[in-house]
Each structure stands twice: as C-alpha cells, then as structure tokens.
Chains A and B, each alone.
Chain A
Amino acid sequence: MGILNSLGKYIVFVTKIFSKPEKHKIYFRQVFKEIDKLGVSSIGIVAIISFFIGMVVIIHMTFNMGNPLIPTYYMAYITRDVLVLEFSSTVLCLILAGKIGSNISSEIGTMRVTEQIDALETMGINSAAYLVLPKMIGMVIVTPILVLLSIFIGLIGGWIVSLSGHLMTGADYIQGIRHGFDSYLVLYTVIKSAMFAFLITSISAFYGYYSKGGALDVGRSSTLAVSYSMIMILVSNYLITQIMLG
C-alpha cells in the first residue's frame, strides 16, 4: 500500500513538473545554469574515474584472457565493449546518482524545510516545474555527453596502459577498439544514459520536494533518493537492455 501510495505521488509530481511553464524564457535560462552546475562540474570526477577504470579493465582483460590462441587486440575490443555497454553508462550513472542525486535532493529538501518552496507557491509559481524541469532537461542533455566523454577517456586510459605496460602495440589497440564496431551500441548507451538522467533527477527531486521536518529529515531524504535512484537505474538498465539488445 505504501509503495503504491508513493508511486502515485511520484506520478502526480512528475505530471506537475511537465505542466505548462509560466514563462519559457526563465526556464530556458535556468537550463543552462543547471547544465553548468550539475554537468560541467562533474567532468572532473567523470574523467578521473573513467581514465583509471579504462586502465584497470585492460589489465584485467590481459591478465584473465591472455592466451596465445586469442589475438591480443581482443583485449582492447573487450575493454571498449565493457566501457560502451556498461561502465560508462550504468556504472557512471550510479556514481552520478550519488553525486548529483544527493545534491538535488538536499537542495530541494532544504528549500522545503526553510519554506522557500512555499514562498514560490504563494507567489503563484509552479515550484515543482521551476525547480525540477530545468535540472531534468539539463541532466538529460548533459549525461549522454558525459557518458561519451567517459568512453573516450576510458579508452585513452586503456591505450596508455597498453603501451606503458607493454600489453600490446598501439596498432593492436586501435585495431581492437575498431573491431566489430556497431554504432547502434552507442545509440543504446546514449538512450540508456538519458533515461538514467531522467530517473536520477525525478527521484531525487521527489524525495527532496516531499521532505518534512529539519536537517535530519533532509539527510534521510537524500539517502533514500540516492538508494532508490540506484535501484531504478539497475531495473531500467535490465529493461532497456532487454528491449534494445535482447
């Protein structure tokens, strides 16, 4: 009963977010602010994580699959698919759910408990749309870009370690990452990450928006927001993969 109640409340909340904006110009300006605040500020962490994961994955592949019967470039090929199919979309979005999800939830939750959301409502402003829609649009735009950036940086990490660790030649590595390339997989990862961005923003905003009480409750909402965002990312990952690749 509690789950159904929350689900209903969530659907009403999302409907409120997508109701007609009072003034498009204000929302448009906010989208760019949010892209900067949520997306551009995440480039550093995305780059560091992706670089090191790229390095580690190629070492793992070589360690576990290194065999004279398997061509060396296959290690680069598998590294590319690990990054494209799962790491740079799903795992990165799980990390972003922690970083950005908690940020959104605590920001909106604090606004709720300090009556700032009530103040917006009493001005006649649709607070859910004003606070969440620009974040959502910003995240849906910027997350796939971050994911593509992550793939690129991860591949560079793998390339550097391949050369410096004498795992394979540069030519083998390039051959590996080009081997059997299917652009549909990139489309799959872009669609997946856009969906994850929607889930992270809406779930985190939902928990923040309905926060009650004080700092402790905002913290609790933030934790719930991150947990549920992660669960929903994993569930939707399975569903999208089943639909697009199954």
Chain B
Amino acid sequence: MIRLENISKSFEKNEVLKGISVEFDEACTNLVIGQSGSGKTVLLKCLIGMLEPDSGDIWYGEDRFTALDPDQQRTFRQQMGVVFQGGALFDSMTVEENIRLPMDFFTDWPREQKLDRVNFCLGRVQLPGSNKLLPAELSGGMKKRVAIARAIALNPKYLFCDEPNSGLDPQTAIVIDNLIHEITLEFNITTVINTHDMNSVMEIGDKILFLSDGLTCWEGTREEILRSDNKVLNDFVFASELMKKFK
C-alpha cells in the first residue's frame, strides 16, 4: 500500500499540488486521471522520488519514503518498476540487455538464470524471441511492452506507469491495459497509472483518483464514476457525445 499525506509541490509561484492525501491499495490498479496540467505527472514524480515534495509525507507500507536521503531513496527504488510514457528504453542496448540491466546491477544470478528471467518477462508481455532486437526496430506498442518487461524484471512491489497507452491505437492500448492489470493481480503489485484514456478508466480502474487544479477532486471506483454527480469529473470523463450516451 502507498499512502500520501498532504503532498504539496510548487515550482516558483506555480502551486501544482495542493495537499494531496490518498491511499493506493495493494494488488489494485490505481488510476490517476485529470486534465493536462492538473498535476498527475508531478504527483507520479514525487511518488518515485524524482521530485521532492515541498511538504507532506509518502509512505510505502511502513516505510516513510520522504524521510529517506537521496541514496536511501535510490536503494528503495529497487522495489519499484516504472514504465515511462515513451518507454525510455536504452537505445544502444538490445531488448535483452535492457531487461537484464537491473539484474546485472542488483543480483548475483548466473548468466543462464538472468536469461531465463529475461525470457520469462518477454513471454509475459507476449514478445518471446525478440531478445536481439534494438529499440529502433520496435513499434510503439512493442516498446511499451518491453518497458513493462523491464519494469517487472526484479519482481517489484510497486509499479508506476505514466500514460502507458498514449500514442497507441485503441486495440494495442487495450492489450497494454490488460497486461498491466493482469501483472498487477498475478504478482500482487501496487500499481499506479497516470492516464487520460477513458477506456483504461472503464476497463482496469480498480481505484480512481481525479485531480483538478492540483487538488483531489474525486476518488472512487469505476462503478462509482458512472453514478457520480461531481460536475468537474463528469465534464472530464464524459466529455464526448459517445461517453455521454454511455452514461
């Protein structure tokens, strides 16, 4: 479980997060939604320690993440897997080397065991046999899947995804969503996803946090979102005619 207590973050005079408090549950796909500029990415960066909140605390289980120094935070991050918006695969490395990198750094496994784990992860994201490909040879969807494979290489307790299906066709986006959801349940991971995609919200959103103007505007489940009478939320989620009809 991840608990945020009163997280605030400003950049000069621009207050991006204004006292966010929320709990992200274990073995759940927790979605953070909101308009562009609502503070989703800043919140995610605070969660993974890329940004330091101005005030407030972040707890991972019983560990107070915000009390750790940068070196301790870096060590703690070995328990996290992060999928970046563009995949962030290392261009000069093959798919296999990308997935093996965290194992090279943080395990003493023999070469064969690492290769087995790479193959397992690639199999899990439905990309078996792509070990020797370079990121430049992969499609957008494949890059995201390799990024997920790399994120789960060391069995993380926490998985963070920043807009995992942006730039993908709807069919591939659903594949990626379902993959993240299955992995979350299979490995009992606490997953936090930043997304704009309403399909994701309706498909895999076990818990949803809606941010607006740096504040928690609404939180609940995907069933509750349909019945919500929060105007700001409804304007965002049911913006299109199709979604209005769906509601």
Q: How far is the CB of A18 from chain B (nearest CB, A)?
A: 14
Q: Which residues of B contact A118 (CB under 8 A)?
A: 50, 82, 84, 88
The answer, among B50, B91, B102, B160, for a CB contact under 8 Å with A123, is B102
Do residues A121 and B88 form an inter-chain contact, with CB atoms below 8 A?
A: no
Besides the known contacts A23-B104, A114-B86, A124-B76, 16 further A-B residue pairs in the complex with CB atoms under 8 A apart: A26-B105, A114-B88, A116-B88, A116-B91, A118-B50, A118-B84, A119-B82, A119-B84, A122-B50, A123-B101, A123-B102, A123-B105, A124-B74, A124-B106, A125-B74, A125-B101
Type the 1/0 row for B53-84, where 1 means its CB is closer than 8 Å to any CB of A: 00000000000000000010011111010101
Do residues A126 and B74 form an inter-chain contact, with CB atoms below 8 A?
A: yes
Q: How far is the CB of B199 from chain A (nearest CB, A)?
A: 24
Number of interface residues, chain B, beta carbon within 8 A:
24
Q: How far is the CB of A106 from chain B (nearest CB, A)?
A: 12
Query: In the complex, A74→B52 CA distance in Å?
Result: 65
Q: Which residues of B contact A23 (CB under 8 A)?
A: 104-105
Q: How far is the CB of B157 from chain A (nearest CB, A)?
A: 13
The answer, among A19, A22, A114, A115, for a CB contact under 8 Å with B105, is A22
The answer, among A110, A111, A116, A122, for a CB contact under 8 Å with B77, is A122
Q: Which residues of A contact B89 (CB under 8 A)?
A: 116, 119
Residue of A nearest to B78 (CB): A124
Query: In the complex, A23→B108 CA distance in Å?
Result: 10
Given contacts A122-B82, A124-B78, contact A116 B90 (CB under 8 A): yes
- A sample of 19 inter-chain contacts (CB < 8 A) reads A22-B106, A26-B105, A115-B84, A115-B86, A116-B89, A116-B90, A116-B91, A119-B82, A119-B88, A119-B89, A121-B77, A122-B49, A122-B80, A122-B82, A123-B78, A123-B105, A124-B78, A124-B106, A125-B74
Chain B binding surface, main DSSP class:
mixed
Q: Which residues of A contact B104 (CB under 8 A)?
A: 23, 26
Question: Which 6 A-B pairs rank lowest in CB-CB distance, beginning with the nearest?
Answer: A119-B88, A124-B78, A115-B88, A122-B82, A124-B77, A115-B84
Q: Which residues of A contact B91 (CB under 8 A)?
A: 110, 114, 116
Q: Which residues of A contact B74 (CB under 8 A)?
A: 121, 124-126
In chain A, positions 81-117 with a C-beta closer than 8 Å to chain B are: 110-111, 114-116
Residue of B nearest to A33 (CB): B92
